[in-house]
Structure 1
Amino acid sequence: MQDDPRALVSTDWLAKHLKDPDLRVLDASWYLPAMGRDAKREYDEAHIPGARFFDIDEISDQRSDLPHMAPTVEKFMSRLRAMGVGDGHQVVVYDGAGIFSAARVWWTLRLMGQFDVAVLDGGLPKWRQEGRPLDDLDPVIRDRHMTVRRQHHLVKDVTQVSAAAKLGDYEIVDARPAERFRGEVAEPRAGLRAGHIPGSKNVPFGELLVQGQTMKSPDEIRRVFEGAGVDLSKPVIASCGSGVTACILALALERMGKTDHAIYDGSWAEWGAFLTLPVAKGPAKQGPMT
């Protein structure tokens, strides 16, 4: 693969740069309850040398009733400074699944104006499989100032998504599994309706990955989106269950050179709870919401 320090880098690239003074590695592991894994405990037991743990649930806007919404600028700055991450750093984010929650932290840093950030392709599983070094030591932290400029165009709220669904000026793409998108199974989060945003398309995030770990090539990514009926001439709003796997879609789009994409941060946790918002079921249909 071709390494891109602003999107995706290989384990070879990280191994080569691991001791660079301005490299910062973040363990962004996060798991759904059904996965039965404890991300912080696993980090404490073994992580890539020098990695800091990024707690997606804690570094969020906890004033919101919705899960792990993007944090305020002030909270983000204070937490990253406490990790010793700041201006001039190249950041590499990984997770314990391969490519899963790391994309969410990649997007969060970009939202805050930090663009020298990449996801580790294959994550910790690939790093382990290759016999690369791990440790259980706490990293040495030195404060570093971070200049934050929130990139408002990278995130959409429910009002903006509703307007986009009606006008059809964006492609709304849902990363959830097909049976959830079609409304054939109940949502794992209690109290949510089943189905999808009218007019949205479905690209289950796993279709962009090879064996759930590494990202497909840019040409393969393009074929996946086009095969789902996504018009790539339009800007894209990515959605999912709670705003985590939607970021895998954003990362894949960035990987293939498409930069006009945003995340619906509330995703189905928000849309599915609002009884006044329309819900569609069955396969994706062409055309805007009426």
Structure 2
Amino acid sequence: MKRWSLSALCSAGLALILALPAQAGRIVDTAAVTEALGRGATLWDIRDAEAYKAGHIPGAVNLGTRVCSQVRTPVSWDYIPISRIIDHLQDWGIDPGREIVLYSNKGNLCPYFILLTLELVGARDVHVYHGGIDDWRSGDRPID
């Protein structure tokens, strides 16, 4: 059963990654991240604290990988009650009414899960930088 659940989760994640590029603007590249930062977007680094300290995109706020586990039940990927998700966002200083760009390491599924979570609570301007820190570094861009 656990093997089937993991397989289903991986399949769903892959389907999500393949389907999202069709949604204009939800998956963004490096140029779009730079433009979003110029507009004052919130940039979330969804990596652990050590990785963030080792180097992150200037202006990024690190919430760590805990965001993925704190918005779902401990034994499944089912969401916790929406009111608790909203409380977490407020505790983290996140305004779903602002433009938000999420990133991690290239291909990490957590930013996609959080994108859907934010849309669930009403956010309308959320993007995932699929290339993440890996693509940012490959272009000889500044790192804090």
Normalised to the residue count of structure 1, the TM-score between the two structures is: 0.41
Aligned amino acid, residue 173 of structure 1: W
TM-score by length of 2: 0.76
Superposition pairs for residues 212-227 of structure 1, below 5 Å?
A: 213-214=76-77, 215-227=79-91
Maintained 8 Å contact 2:105/2:134: yes
Instruction: Name the Cα RMSD after superposition.
Output: 2.8
Q: Is the aligned partner of 1:161 residue 2:26?
A: no
Identical residues among aligned pairs (%):
23
Pairing 1:64-83 to 2, within 5 Å after superposition = none
1:202 corresponds in structure 2 to 62
Corresponding residue for residue 102 of structure 1: 12
Give the 4+ runs in structure 1 shifted more than 6 A: none
- State the match for 2:50 in structure 1: 179
Match of 1:230 in 2: 94
Partner secondary structure for residue 272 of structure 1:
helix
Partner of residue 255, structure 1:
120
In structure 2, give the amino acid aligned to 1:238. L
Matched AA of 1:155: I
Helix, strand or coil for the counterpart of 1:199? coil
**Match runs of 1:36-47 below 5 Å:** 47=4
Q: Which runs of 5+ in 2 are unaligned?
A: none
Q: Does the aligned pair in 1 maintain the 2:97–2:124 contact within 8 Å?
A: no
Per-residue CA deviation, residues 23-75 of structure 1 (Å, 9 max, x unaligned), is xxxxxxxxxxxxxxxxxxxxxxx647xxxx8xxxxxxxxxxxxxxxxxxxxxx
Q: Give secondary structure in 1 for the equivalent of 2:57.
A: coil
Give the number of equivalent residue pairs: 138
Residues 97 and 123 in structure 2, CA contact (< 8 A), matched pair in contact too: no
Q: Once the 2 structures are TM-superposed, how far is the Cα of residue 212 of structure 1 from its aligned partner?
A: 6.2
Distance 1:256 1:223, change over 3 A: same
- Aligned pairs for 1:14-163 (under 5 A) are 47=4, 94-95=8-9, 102-103=12-13, 105-112=15-22, 151-163=23-35
Change in 2 beyond 3 A, CA 1:212/1:226: farther
Higher relative contact order (CA 8 A, sep 6+): 2
Tell me the secondary structure at the aligned position of residue 138 of structure 2: coil
Give how far 1:178 is off.
2.7
Q: Secondary structure at the match of 1:95?
A: helix
State the match for 1:279 in structure 2.
Answer: 143
State the match for 2:104 in structure 1.
240
Distance 1:265 1:207, change over 3 A: same
Look up the equivalent residue of 1:197 and give its one-letter code.
I
* Cα separation, 1, equivalents of 2:135 and 2:142: 12
1:161 Cα offset (Å): 0.5
Contact 1:201 1:229 in 2 (8 A): no
**Structure whose alpha-carbon radius of gyration is higher:** 1
Give per-residue Cα distances to partners, 1:222-255, cap 9 Å, x unaligned: 2222322223221221111113221011121122
